[in-house]
Structure 1
Amino acid sequence: MNICRIFIVALLLIVAITGSVFAAEIWVSPKGSDKNTGTQQQPLATVAMALRKARELRRLNDGSIKGGIRIVVEKGLYQLSEPLFIRPEDSGAADSPTIIEGADKGETIFSGGIHINGWKKLEGNIPGLPLNVAGKVWVANAPLIGDEVVNFRQLWVGNTKATPAREADAPLMSRILSWDHQTQSCWIPKPAAFDTLHIKGMEMFIHQWWAIAILRVKSAKVAGDSVRLSFYQPESRIQSEHPWPAPWISKKTGNSAFYLSRSVQFLNQPGEWYLDMEHRKIYYIPRPGEDLSTATATVPVLENIVKIEGTIDHPVSYFSFKNIGFQHSSWLRPSKAGLVPHQDGMYMLDAYKLKIPGTPDKKGLENQAWVGRPAAAVEVAYASHTTFEGCRFEHLASTGLDYQRGTHDDEIKGNLFKDIGGTAILAGVYSDEAQEVHLPYNPTDKHEICTNERIENNLITDATNEDWGCVGIGAGYVKGITIAHNEVCDVNYTGISMGWGWTKSINAMSDNHITANKIHHYARNMYDVAGIYTLSAQPGSVISNNYVDSIYKAPYAHDPQHWFYLYTDEGSSYITIKNNWCRAEKFLKNANGPGNVWENNGPQVANEIKKAAGVEPAYQYLLKYKTVNREGQPINYKSE
């Protein structure tokens, strides 16, 4: 009898944990073969084949899937040659979910990159390379796919991102002298030993208000101690025609800062690299202690590592990722068409100033813009009841995880986002490419709206390190979203941004909650900023019990005082902001609509609220991965 009772208790425990004793398992291992059966003893080699097997089990309604399908991926590096595509046919059900799970937490990596091997010390010199680095430069063949050289914008040596060769050593930048909007050109101070013979591939990175721009240099003309730069289209026209944000010209605070990069003539510091596409060579100066004969050098190839995509009538549902690492995504938009962002990393496809202001929604509006959305390592669209839990998003060129549209009832919980080029987590439509950004989005089919998403207990650190104008967590037109108990630190702009459209008109947004998050060490480089920032009408939305502190003193801010802890920007309406702890009552309420309620925000907020913000105890193991102010940058501790 005792044995029977023990068996029943054990069985109930298994059911409680897995949902059923009949769940199917498919195993994957770096040592496996796709000709194997997929058992633990005979694992497959690829997750794609495991997914195919799972799809067949569902198609045939195999009895083994009664409690779901668990694809167990053993620890190791899985370098993908194409994105892992999750389709409607891969969907599970409430009582039979599909889970892709790493067997060892943090040890299973899906990579969109490839390794660079065969490094040798450069013998002699090459045209344009500074003479003072002779004997310090290493060289390897750039990889080929087919007969084409792989283009890339990032290089990681080990787990450390290298720096594209730049003329001003980070974090220093120069300042533009002037911008000519008519000729679409600018004047800059002449860099030391500037060589106009080696500008092929050169880029200009420019800081302007709350965004940056990356412009491909077409020509450079030296005149005394100055250089006139012209740029390729389409970024040349967009950069010179759009009114906001634009190059900053100010005798009081200094003109917009910039640096030049991606030219062999700038390769002069340890940790810098240069790609010569024409001759298929990569050049790199190792940091102290790096040995390229043994180090792992990785460049990204895939812009998407995973795509979960259904249709509005047939969404992907009940599909989860657990304990998986996503690494080495690419993003080539700046190399192909330049990059002129509008806000939150949404880049302008077209933009200009109206000669006669006024639109149907805003009579005085003079700014017109249409935007695109950056690629993400993991993209989700038309899906429901999906989960990312205990995953690691690291060493990614652009957005980490993006719930784009048509999603609902999903969870992003207990994940690490570190070394992210753009925004760590995005959710919701911002503007479709065909819709002007200031027009309210409110689709007839409400299934298009990202609804009831939960973003909880994630650590976001060292994000926005490529596009400084991106954010830690960004939510566009969302409904019923909960952003709670996350920690966001070491970002270049805003911690959490919610809303889009700059409009008081009722739109798709309502009933959103930003609660008990810890946001600190933000605005490292960009101002017109806050720890939490909102746009447009959002009836029933609440921002409460958050901790916001330690905003950086951005070295090149257009207005050194234009930083805030909380910021309700244009059109923000029907939002309750209460019980948020911050060091001072430095808030901005800019062109707000009706219905906002501000209550008890500032240093007087109860200590219990302050202490409870951030990741909850069960997820605090993530905190060992955070990075904070490694360069010792000054902090704004109080309103000035």
Structure 2
Amino acid sequence: MKSFFLAGFMLASVSLFATNIYVSPSGNDAADASVSAPKATLSAALRDARNLRRLQKVAKDEAIHIILKGGTYFQYEPVFVRPEDNGTESSPTIIEAAAGELPVLSGGMKVTGWQKQGKFWVADVPDFNGIRLNFRQLWVNGAKAVRARDVADFTKMNTILKNDKKHQTLWVPASAVRTIAKAPHAELVIHQMWGVANLRIKSIIFHGDSAGVKFHNPESRIQFEHPWPSPTVGKPFNNSAFYLTNAIQLLDQPGEWFYDQDNGKLYYMPRPGEDMRKAEAIVPAIETLVNVEGTLEKPVQYITFKGIAFNHTTWTRPSEKGHVPLQAGMYLLEGYKLRPAGVPGNENKGIENQAWVGRPVAAVALLNTSKINFEGCRFEHLGSCALDVVRGSQSTTVEGCLFRDIAGNGLQIGSFSEEALESHLPYDPADIRVLCSGQNIKNNYITDVTNEDWGCVGIAAGFVRNINIEHNEINEVSYSGISVGWGWTKSVNAMRNNRIFANYIHHYAKHMYDVAGIYTLSVQTKSTISENVVDSIYSPSYAHDPKHWFYLYTDEGSSFITMKDNWTPSEKYLKNANGPGNTWENNGPQVSDSIKTRAGLEPKYLYLKKL
């Protein structure tokens, strides 16, 4: 091999070697990037690689290896990978961990200087890059702490009494909110069918044993106008449960924290044995760690991330504008019921509501790319989605990766309706380059995701085609394991040739119902869901309809999908408002044990469960 400082050799003499660019947390971006004088940041290393290619100092069959030594790389902005960083099929750029080491790209900031104050530890949160931080997560010694809330056990959540849409008021037991009546920035998180909404409390009025809670905008308008998912009150459903958070009055359990943003002070109640003078406390500061973004005419291509950890991201929108999702974490920008139903055009003649959605942020985002690979990477301790293949991306491979402790979706892939496209419309763009196609999501271990935004899923795929989701294990998710499709439409659209094969999904629906291990929407011509295993569903007592859960679920408009040889403990499936062409063959407990044995991680990747 040759290191960066040898890059000046003639091309003929270097074609047998790889170019290595070294990076270390203790490096210097002015260094020459050799093993003994590494760069300090991935951004600087990418610039060096870019210059090597620009100056034609890399042979056509020579890979560039950007080798990150172990340790934490704290970032103040996302790394931007652009078309000028492109590799080729014979000369890729590989961003990889040094042998036996774990480099961590972190969007967090350490909080130090803790002082004991009674039962709390208190620290000043310094400004980040010149501004006061706003954050919703804290990790202490690598473990996620709990944002102070009124219940330690979710089965003990209070439930609403009335949903007053006209006056945009939720009526709740007065005893539930009395302690936080004067808290300046308290939030109410409400369970509603297949999603939760984060609502910033504006005011509380007391009337006997009841209290009326009003909220800030825009979430107040959205919450009380949109029809689905909605709070439930009265039979046959359970009343919607809720919990309160973000008030110092709620800080009463070990492992809980509260951030007084107005005064920049962080309060923490330690777990047994924790000494905050010695502990590592990290709060998230940036939302995205890596943006891989090209254009349709010039996509980013032939970049591989190998053995890299992506940690400690934030998502501040719920603290600034609330969060009222439609489904799979896609948040409503506007939504309302149509009276009378229907709009002009065959597709929408019977539609009874309209909705427009935005997309939550991700730690790593791909836009207009080709042949981008993630191998053996770790996505952990993240404040929203982990990996987002947004649009215009072809042939992405995500294999052998760990997704753990993630607030929202593990992966989200493809269009979920652009902000200007009404969510129930079919998506079939004239320029097919904008589609996400040929994604290969294989042998990943996805666990403890959706742990804040309960309506999210392990793998969320929207309008995609030729996607292969294979041999993944997904567990400890709040809602569904794998969701494929979008649009609630029986019209032909961009989706086709999707394959969901040999995945193992268990311990799902931890908090939400109207749920399945594998869930589909809309027309997906020549798509196959086969040889998967779905087992061990949770039974949350506060689910809106305790009977409304399923192992497999083809929802509105699902068409031309083959369901075959999937093992489930019973044939508890739902086929709701499906279109034509679906085939169900040999699904249930009678499926061969060999299929059950093969599902999930292949032997080579079982080590992921021990990390």
Deviation digits for residues 146-192 of structure 1 (CA, Å, limit 9, x no counterpart): 55321100011111111111122232311001110001011111236
1:162 maps to 2:148: no
Query: TM-score, normalization: structure 2?
Result: 0.96
Which of 438, 444, 448 is the equivalent residue of 1:462? 448
Match of 1:483 among 428, 448, 469: 469
- Equivalent residue for 1:635? none
Inter-partner Cα distance in structure 2 for 1:553 and 1:57: 57
Q: Is the counterpart of residue 414 in structure 1 residue 397 in structure 2?
A: no
In the TM superposition, residue 356 of structure 1 has moved relative to its aligned partner by 1.5
CA deviation map 1:122-151 (0-9, x unaligned)? 1xxxxxxxxxxxx21110002212553211
Instruction: Work out the number of aligned pairs and report it.
Output: 595
Partner of 2:325: 341
1:28 corresponds to = 23
Spell out structure 1 runs of 4+ moving beyond 3 A: 63-66
1:563 match: secondary structure = coil
Answer yes or no: is the 8 Å Cα contact 1:91–1:98 preserved in 2: yes
Query: What is the CA distance between 1:50 and its match in structure 2?
Result: 0.5
Change in 2 beyond 3 A, CA 1:23/1:183 = same
Distance between the aligned counterparts of 2:177 and 2:321, measured in 1? 28
Please give the alpha-carbon distance, in whole angstroms, between the structure 1 residues aligned to 2:569 and 2:125: 50
Name which of 203, 208, 216 aligns with 2:187: 203
Say which SS state the counterpart of residue 517 (structure 2) adopts: strand
Deviation at 1:24, TM superposition (A): 0.8
Instruction: Please say if 1:290 is aligned against 2:294.
Output: no
AA paired with 2:152? Answer: D
Secondary structure (helix, strand or coil) at the match of 1:611 reads: helix
- Tell me the residue number matched to 2:349: 363
The aligned counterpart of 2:457 is: 471
**Does 2:228 correspond to 1:233?**
no
Indicate the residue corresponding to 1:637 in structure 2.
none
Query: CA separation in 2, counterparts of 1:421 and 1:22?
Result: 42
Residue identity opposite 1:119 in structure 2: W
- The amino acid across from 2:394 in the alignment is H
1:374-408 Cα deviation digits (max 9, x unpaired) = 00000001000010000000000110001010011
**Aligned partners of 1:427, 1:193: CA distance in 2, in Å?**
39
Which position in structure 2 is the counterpart of 1:574? 560
Tell me the CA shift for residue 64 of structure 1: 5.3
* Match status 1:44 vs 2:67: no
8 Å contact 2:15–2:60 — kept in the other structure? no
Between the aligned partners of 1:192 and 1:230, the Cα distance in structure 2 is 15
Change in CA separation of 1:105 and 1:362 when aligned onto 2, cut-off 3 Å: farther
- 2:262 matched to which residue of 1? 278
SS at match of 2:84: helix
1:246 to 221, 224, 230: 230
- Deviation at 1:566? 0.3
Q: Alignment partner for residue 523 of structure 1, among 509, 531, 542? A: 509
User: Aligned partners of 1:585 and 1:310: how far apart in 2?
Assistant: 45
Residue aligning to 1:330: 314
The residue type equivalent to 2:208 in the other structure is G
1:543-562 alignment runs, 5 A limit:
543-562=529-548
Q: Deviations over 1:210-244 (max 9, x none)?
A: 01100000001122222210000111011001111
Residue equivalent to 1:113:
108
Which residue pairs with 2:169 in the alignment? 185
Corresponding letter in the other structure for 1:168: V
Q: Which residue identity is paired with 1:143?
A: P
CA contact (8 A) 1:423 1:464 kept: yes
Equivalent residue for 1:259? 243
CA distance, structure 2, for counterparts of residue 412 and residue 589 of structure 1: 30
Distance 1:582 1:95, change over 3 A: same
1:597 counterpart letter in structure 2: T
Secondary structure at 2:288 match in 1: coil
Amino acid of the residue matched to residue 119 of structure 2? K
- Aligned match of 2:122: 139
Per-residue deviation, 1:106: 6.2
Give SS of 1:542's match.
strand
Q: Which amino acid aligns with 1:185?
A: T
In structure 2, the residue matched to 1:564 is 550
RMSD: 1.3
Residue 319 of structure 1 deviates from its aligned partner by: 0.4
Distance across 2 between alignment mates of 1:266 and 1:198: 12
The answer on whether the counterparts of 2:356 and 2:421 sit within 8 Å (CA) in structure 1 is yes
Shift of the 532–25 alpha-carbon distance from structure 1 to 2, 3 Å rule, reads: same
Structure 2 distance, partners of 1:94, 1:549, is 41
Please give the per-residue CA displacement for 1:513-550, whole angstroms capped at 9, x wherever unaligned.
00000000000010000000000000010000000000
With normalisation by structure 1, the TM-score equals: 0.91
3-state SS of 1:191 partner: helix
Any idea what the Cα deviations from partners look like across 1:277-309, whole Å, max 9, x if unmatched? 111111110011111011100000110011000
Query: How far off is 1:594 after superposition?
Result: 0.4
Indicate the residue corresponding to 1:148 in structure 2. 131
Given that residues 370 and 433 in structure 1 are in contact (C-alpha distance below 8 angstroms), is that contact kept between their aligned partners in structure 2?
yes
Equivalent in 610, 621, 626 of residue 607 of structure 2: 621
Distance 1:154 1:425, change over 3 A: same
Rounded to whole Å, the distance in 2 between the matches of 1:196 and 1:524 is 27
